[in-house]
Structure 1
């Protein structure tokens, strides 16, 4: 199953295994079981002294396999064949169960080790989901650090009966002890917080005791990362507060227009951003949400956990998120038929009828991708014409299983209490109300800035964007802003990064001038 080049790379990785492991498979006579048997045999042959393949597993899911440290109860389990986006998860699991060090903040690792309850996690993923590996890898690492944590990763495409029974309509979908626990991307810190083991009093006190920063950046996306690097290179005390490092880039499937990077995907790009920032002396405070900005000669930033950080200058790079429809039923059926990531959740709607809301590039691209998976796609556009690039429109109109409805205002998401069954819209030309029976709705109607927490402290536009000048200066002296959260036109990764650099240089100039005064 693995080509020669991949085998060579994998063999080199497997040399990092320090403790013997067993690959214990549960297989039947089906084609997928034969594929998994071939994959596990190839892996074991790459490191025969450290890896043993056993075809005697007792799991009720077939095909599946467990990676177990020999003579211990440390193990992770995969139901399915973890290739595609999950191949990295497989490699990491082999290494970590085999004793290779887990790269994780030591404070977070200790929190995991100190959990004293039994947790049984199950994560449903799709091989085309770029958000799923983060969750799978975080829970796998947690299960290696603490044997009281058990984790099984399940390919939803291979276990459709389970997906249907549990009404999984969005991935990654995490169940804890048989109950719904989490949907969407998350790292170990975020999962710990959801377990109720977030910041301790000791951690909050440590944040409060931090010395004032010269520059404090709020946000860990392209704008925030660029700002942090440019500030740190000036040799000044720099900190970053991020709810999730990488920001919205993490939800981007393909990036082909970042100059000098011919092609990459969002998670890889986000990982490179964080790695680059960590090359410098930057204090990164991840999984921390800003809650209040208090201007002054010494600016204060209050966090949601109750801690307060102090800084001489501040850069707001809080980014944006997918805009919601804001109609009845949307919140009720989120992850139950209402979705925002066609790449992640599309495979769960194979052979079904879906709608895409939005006629811009994102909406049309989503409709094109989904058309290859589902039975039928209905694209609804609010205006008189689609706004996507002409090349995308031509492709869309060439597809036989796509219907485009213009002048359509979505008014309600309809369901049966457990899942979406229809979409209601108003024909803006005739004012007639119509229903479309369907199984899923993918919302692609643009972005909204993550600035609500600022209130009226900083001047914002009618769209909620932070107003800035050409230097990134906001209405408050010493407070700068960059990226998608601002009034800068064209929300693009490369523009956000440039804006972050501008804001950092402006903040440095501000510090020089105020120090002289």
Structure 2
């Protein structure tokens, strides 16, 4: 299954294994079991510290455990961890084999100190770019703490479980048999949910921080660029982010980032975070801003209040809170979110194999989603509000060449239907004639653009009718000392490369403001 170049790379990686590792396979006579057996044999042949045994003792077949020989430390994969999960497999082998993780000593000790027995089960799809973060975080936790166990399950392979548990979005995490969370979660986020004192401890640390010269709120491309440019000026820089990487984490293929022909969102987000950490930037992750309090006097400190109860103060603030998927705002959408209503076709598409789905939106993202889904599902109905599709012509030609796609234009989705547990259909209105039509289906993928994350700023800074932060050519907002950049602002064309440029500009403007700023006590005296 592995070509010679991959085997050569893995052989070099496996030299880092210091503890003996057992691959314990549970197989049946199916084709996937044969593939798994072949993969495990090839891996075992690459290191004398890895052995393969077959026990067939697990209910899920095909599956395999990666165990540290003679201990209770290990992880389990149900299904073939290829695609996006191949890195998860390699990391698990290294970590079970004794290679130290890259997490901070503080986080490692927090995992080791968790008191209780935890069995995590994560349903993933091989095309999901969000799933590896969850799988790798829970695998690491099970390596660090023997009272934590984790099984990563390919939802497309174990359809019976998926239907029984009504899993309609990945990653879906279960803890001790009960739903725990859905969507991308990193190690710190998972810890915050199960370690009840983590939020309070983080708030106390934040309260003790001195004022920053520049405080960046938001950790997407604009925020990362702003933090780097500010830190390079040698001034005290902090960045508070609800999740570092922002919307980029949910982006599959990136092919227009100049000088990089192709990359993926999670890879770019990881590179952004590492670049920020190369400088003296105080990174505060999992921190959601709730209020902005302008300086009471010219030259005074601006305050940003956080959801955890703490607040941060700074001489200047750069707002880069980005945007999120726009919702249809029709009856049934909220009720059936992650129960058939989805926003990431790459992540959740494989769960709808052989089923009927709709894509809402006829722009590039909607048409691309419909094309991708057409290769997986039984039928795709694309619904566009406008009288014509807005996607690039080449994408429209590809879409219309597919035999299992129906395109509806001048159609307004009015309601999502379900049976209480999952989506069963939708209703749309023909905007030309006014008639209502029902489409029976099992999944709805919403691709209708973005909405800025600025609700918390209402009444603090000037916002456009669309909720975007109004900025001038220097990224200055209506509040002195407060700048903004990226998708949350009125700057047109929401692109990664533009957000980075605007973040850099905002940092330079903030620095210029700082060197010209009259200290608060001088302003009062004047």
CA distance in 1, matches of 2:242, 2:250: 14
Give the superposed CA RMSD: 1.1
Comparing 193-202 and 53-62, the one that deviates more: 193-202
Alignment match, 1:320: 323
CA distance in 2, matches of 1:392, 1:480: 38
Alignment match, 1:58: 57
Contact 1:350-1:373 at 8 Å conserved across structures: yes
Alignment match, 2:16: 16
Indicate yes or no: 2:48 matched with 1:45: no
Alignment match, 2:434: 431
Comparing 224-233 and 175-184, the one that deviates more: 175-184
Alignment match, 1:94: 93
Alignment match, 1:370: 373
Displacement, 1:198?
A: 5.4
Identify unmatched segments of 5+ residues in structure 2: none
CA distance in 1, matches of 2:399, 2:391: 10
Identify unmatched segments of 5+ residues in structure 1: none
CA distance in 1, matches of 2:366, 2:304: 37
Contact 2:192-2:199 at 8 Å conserved across structures: no
Q: Aligned ranges for residues 67-466 of structure 1 at < 5 Å?
A: 67-197=66-196, 199-296=198-295, 297-466=300-469
Contact 1:111-1:197 at 8 Å conserved across structures: no
Displacement, 1:229?
A: 0.6
Contact 1:199-1:305 at 8 Å conserved across structures: no
Displacement, 1:109?
A: 2.3
Alignment match, 1:504: 507
Displacement, 1:56?
A: 1.4
Contact 2:174-2:181 at 8 Å conserved across structures: yes
Displacement, 1:196?
A: 5.0
Displacement, 1:2?
A: 0.8
CA distance in 1, matches of 2:462, 2:395: 37
Contact 1:192-1:198 at 8 Å conserved across structures: no
Secondary structure at the aligned position of 1:154 is classed as strand
Q: TM-score, normalised by structure 1?
A: 0.98
Secondary structure at the aligned position of 2:339 is classed as coil
CA distance in 2, matches of 1:440, 1:339: 7
CA distance in 1, matches of 2:332, 2:29: 44
Q: Deviations over 1:368-397 (max 9, x none)?
A: 111111111101111111111111111111
Alignment match, 1:27: 27
- Pick from 481, 489, 507 the counterpart of residue 478 of structure 1: 481
CA distance in 2, matches of 1:166, 1:122: 12
Contact 1:189-1:198 at 8 Å conserved across structures: no
Secondary structure at the aligned position of 1:354 is classed as strand
Secondary structure at the aligned position of 1:46 is classed as coil
CA distance in 2, matches of 1:95, 1:483: 38
Displacement, 1:115?
A: 1.2
Displacement, 1:118?
A: 0.9
Secondary structure at the aligned position of 1:180 is classed as strand
Contact 1:123-1:154 at 8 Å conserved across structures: yes
CA distance in 2, matches of 1:203, 1:228: 21
Contact 2:65-2:77 at 8 Å conserved across structures: yes
Displacement, 1:290?
A: 0.8
Displacement, 1:287?
A: 0.9
CA distance in 2, matches of 1:332, 1:106: 41
Contact 1:356-1:363 at 8 Å conserved across structures: yes
CA distance in 2, matches of 1:418, 1:447: 27
Q: Deviations over 1:35-85 (max 9, x none)?
A: 11111111111111x111111141011110000111111110000110110
CA distance in 1, matches of 2:277, 2:108: 19
Q: TM-score, normalised by structure 2?
A: 0.97
Q: Deviations over 1:194-222 (max 9, x none)?
A: 22535354432221111111101011110
Secondary structure at the aligned position of 2:38 is classed as helix
Distance verdict in 2 for CA 1:69–1:57, change over 3 Å: farther
Comparing 81-90 and 14-23, the one that deviates more: 14-23
Q: How many residues are treated as equivalent by the alignment?
A: 516
Contact 2:200-2:308 at 8 Å conserved across structures: no
Contact 2:172-2:183 at 8 Å conserved across structures: yes
CA distance in 2, matches of 1:110, 1:423: 49
Displacement, 1:110?
A: 2.2
